[in-house]
Chain A
Amino acid sequence: MAVNSVDGRGVQVDVRELFNLLESNQLKTVDEITEEIQQHLSAVKESWLINSLVDYYYIAQTERVIDILMSVREPHDKHLVEKLADGIKSEKHQLLAMKLLLHVVCKQPMWVHKLIKPPIFPALIRCLKTDTDIPLLMTGVMVITVLLPAIPSLVGKHLPDIFDIFGHLINFNVKKPSSPREGSVPDVFLLHLQVALYGLFHRLYGMFPYTFLTFLRHHYSKKENTAAYEESIKPMLERVRLHPHLISGTRENEMDAKRWKSLEDHDVIVQCAKMSLDQIEGTWEEISCPVASFSHKPILPTAGKTQRKTPTGDWKKLKTSVSSPPQLSPTVTTQDLSPFWSPSLSVGLSTPPPSQQTTPASSALENSLASLHQAQQGTSGNTSTTDTPRGTPPISTEEEKGRGRLKGQREIKKLSLSNKSLPGLVESKSGSSSVPPSPLRAEFTTEPPRGIFKSLPVMQAARELQFDVGSARRSLGTPELLAENLQDSSFSGDGSFRDVEAERSDLMESYSRDAIMKTQTTEEDTDDQEVSDLTKNPVPPMFQTAESVAKFMRSVNRIRFNSMTNEVETILAQEKYSCRRNSRSCPNLHKMPVPEEEVEDPLSRSVSTTFKTSSGTPKVNEMKENAEMMTSTPKTNMSKTSNVTINMASHVVNNITYHRMDSSRSEKESDFMTVLKSVLVPTKVAVCQRCSAQCFTSPNKSDQDLPVPVFETYSPPELLDKHLHLGGDIHAKQLSRIPLTNQDSISWTHFGGMPPADEINILRGQIFMMKNQILYERNKRELHAKRNRRLLRKITTANALEEQTKAQTEQIQILETEIQNLRLSMKLLQEENRRLKQTSESNEYETQVKLRACLSELDDLRSAKTEMNTLLIRQREDQDALKAKLQNTEAKLFQEQRMNQHLKEQVQMTQRLKEQVLQLHKELLLMGELQGKYETKLNIIRNSHHAKPEQDNMITTLRAENKALKEKMKINTLNWDGVGKKIQELEGNLQNKQLSIEELKRQLHLAKICHEDEIKAVEDKYNSICSINQRLEGHIMSLYGQIDQMERPKQAKSGQPDQMEQPNQAKISKPQPSPDSADGTPRERTGSVPTSPPRVKPALTKMSSVPLGCGLAGTPPPVARAGHEASQSDTGKTKSDITKLQPVRRTVTEGSEDTASISSNESGGSLIARRGNTLNSDGEEKSQSSKDSGYNK
């Protein structure tokens, strides 16, 4: 392969394998390979892969490669574009490159704007300008048409080129181009080209009306172009309305990029469509032309067909729904709209509903069948009011029948509206007659299954269909039928089962198909028989050519057989196309698929087969068979549909009035065609009328009663449709008559020959162009879908806003009522106010009058007052003057009186003074006499005074005496001083002496204390010694006692103990004078052990110390000696103790010297004797005595 030479080496093999695998039958491997290539693409940045892919596409023309190439992303787009530009430039791959380009453009990748730039766009332009190959041109035009709304702002500078191309290609219509390669171009091709140009025309007019019209004006003002203008441009212009921009806009304005900024591609398209009056190309609001899309779809096997069908159906419905309102009362419309709207709503303009996983073939078959019924219905709908399914669902009660009938009429219109494409179908062979009724069918076939899911509903549906047909025959719906319809419709829920329905519909349809078939076959109804007969007709040839000729012979069972063949087809189709089935179909797909798939599948299949044959796969033989089958099947389908249309036509004979006009246009006329046209025209007229009613753009539209064709000519798509339809009809009807050689469907290999090349080529080209058209329509549809979603959102928002406004209006009403109330109350208040004002005014007037009177009075009074005041002042002045006078007089009087009094007093005084003067005079006289007397006396005394000497002597003596006394006193004081001093000295001495005495006393006291302590200690010692002695004595006594006890048994006589004691006593009591007393005591001792009593007794006698003192004074040594001896005799050990004792005793005696005399006085010699008696208690006594002596002290 040339492709693989790009990279060479190891990759080569890999790529080849990849590509081979890409064509594999296995769905999985294909997916995997696609995936792998995609990964490669993302990994590799170089161009070789893209280049090789494109090359491979040139060779293999595989859809899969297109798929891959379409989804190429950023780094590779450049390579792809370059490669495509090369392809367009080259002779060899021009067409394919263009096709690929169209695909890419339709896909609208992110880098779509790059397509407008060189190298590709100039190449495209040049190609379009120069080339004459119609398919190529058509594809190119499509590319430009699709590209225009996608990049409106960039396309401006290329507009002249595009216009040129447009003009150039329009001319083809008049003057057929002759290409060097293929000779004269077939007319059909021109039709296709016209369709494409028509689309381009609409785009250009819609987007750049001013420029475009300028161009047209300029271009067709020339003589040589007038023919083309008449032929082509004029009809086109007839189908557009006046673009408002023509008036408002300017040339520069149009080219301005700003204008497109706010618009998206679908907005642009809709804008363009709005300008169109054509049913197919144009739209009222969002409606697009359904026919074109249908007619083109079969060419698109790769993309999801199902995906596309639904929107068109929706549009149609929309159209009908939109168109219906003006003719009906609002209530009815709402009623009517509901069933209409529900499917379209459920379509999910916003989101694509779950997919329908039907196998294409089966669905196709189902659809074909269903379409048949639909067609019947659609036609019957024209005549009878009752049998239209749309009318029935909303009517839930019997009372509404009348309304339903009314509705029915309206529905007829709708039907006709939907059927409007029928005229276009006349010429087409693709059986597009099934297309228009699709909405009907949509409701018709789907709604019953909604409610019921078993065979029963299916049967009912079938019956219904037949009833409808029957009713159509009878040209009037009987009430029973209506009732049945109602019943059926009542089964179906109104829209609640949408989701379920989506899943089940396929099943239902497959059921219904068989069921209907059967019912149809078994039915004795003649009408049905007729239909079946009609349908049967085309079948035989097909089957002859195909597999079972024998089955063909059995015409009775033909339908069953048909079903079988269909099944075979399903299998094949599954093999072939299941992988391409796009899963994102809409729920009401089942409503629509009939027409498209019916047509599509066979066609696409045939296309694919052709592809295969060309690619030269090993399955050629198989494919051939398939191809045979496929080519045959469409024909059957087509024939069926055509039959249906014929049926319809036959039923609607009364409407044939206008077929003549149409027939004049059609070239390949036949009886059927006239009838068909007569059927189709009215519908078209009806549509037009509707459109006039809605758009007010076509003023010369006639009523339904007076149907007049709107346009004298058909628009190119219409023409094409017609052509195709007619072609299909002819094929179906007269195939048997056509020589075999002319039938492209015949397997020529079977006869060992080749079909005429021309025919096949034409057909191929046609298919190719159809595909392109479909692509174009698909693109449009997608954009419309986008718009639909947006609009739906807008609707919801609008609804919300409406709600809001409603609420606000209510509020406003409330407020208004409130305002009115307030106004009323205000009025009342004003009234009151006025009244009050009046009263107040009158009051005021009265008060003013009063006030005035008062004021005048006040003036009078004031003047009177002033007069009175002046009077008063004058009188007061008088009074003052009088008063002053009075006072003066009074003062004078008082003065006089006082003077008088004073004078009187003075007089009295002078009298008294006179008396005194007299008395004093007398006294003066007396004193003078006394003075004289005393003067004389004094003189006498002076003469008699003398002094004496003795007195002086006495004074001197006294003085001397005084002196002597003083002397004496001096001496005495001296003596006194001396004596005083002496006394002082003596006193000091005395004090000293006293101090010393005190000191001595203190010392004495201290010494005394000291000695007392010492004595205490000694006494203590002595006491202890005494106690020791006592103890010792006690001990000795006990020892004696023991000795006595020991000796007593030896000396039994009583004198013994005395003797024993005697010496002892003698020893101790030597100084004792009386032995008698001593005799007594030993007896005591021997009698009892000496205890405390002997101690106590001596304590009572204080004289015990006397002998001691005696001892001291007289004979101390004997005592000591005696003790000494005694101790010596007893124990030698005590010797030292006693020697110690002696000095102690001495000290004791010394201490108690002064007491000795007393005690000696007290105690006589008797006591000394006692002492000797009580030797035992000696110590005690001693201590006692010493104590006593202490006390005495």
Chain B
Amino acid sequence: MARFWCAVLILACLELSTRVGTAPICSYGQAGCHTPSLADIFDRVIQQSSRMHGISSDLHSEFEQYFFPSKNLIGKPKCHTHGIVTPADKENAQRLGREQLTEVILRLLGAWGDPLLQLYRSMSQDQNQDFNHYSSNKALEISDMVHELRDGVAKMAEKMKLSGVLGNTVGYISPEGLVPSSSFSFYKHGELNSMDHHDLLYCFRRDSNKIKNYLQILKCTTLPGLDC
């Protein structure tokens, strides 16, 4: 009995000490908080987007392997984000400027929240044995990441505005405003078949690469440093 209480005491002490030791990261800049610097936020966001792209690449290649192994040409999938104008080469991207670049990033991220969720649901309900549990988990993961990333980039934009790096033309962009709802009907409501899955993954792979690249450009134009 005494030993039990001893152990409880020790655990309580440890927990308290660990709490005291680390400085919590606060998003609202409260006093005493250790707020991450802009460079830190950039790094995190870029890492996250890189990971997201990696997972979507894996999913896409898995898909191609299973369903369309022999074909090189599958068709000309049209992505629902084609309405968002994105720079397709270096000069255009650099010419765009930070504000517009940020806006493009946020638009892209906003446009993918719902479709990815739909993709996950469809994949997890898929009776096809080729789609294993692992794949549908990946879909869930990227779906979550998109939401997190959008919040992260929004915070980053706020911080940039505060430090004067970013002009005020970037407003908060609501998801509905980004992508016209007509494009949601681009994909069938209800059940998506594997063609739709493939198209979605193909489009998202590309878009996540764009997001990552734009973020990197943004970082290197805002904070030129070692990593650029």
Are chains A and B native binding partners rather than an unrelated pairing?
A: no
A residues sitting closer than 8 Å to B (CB atoms) are none
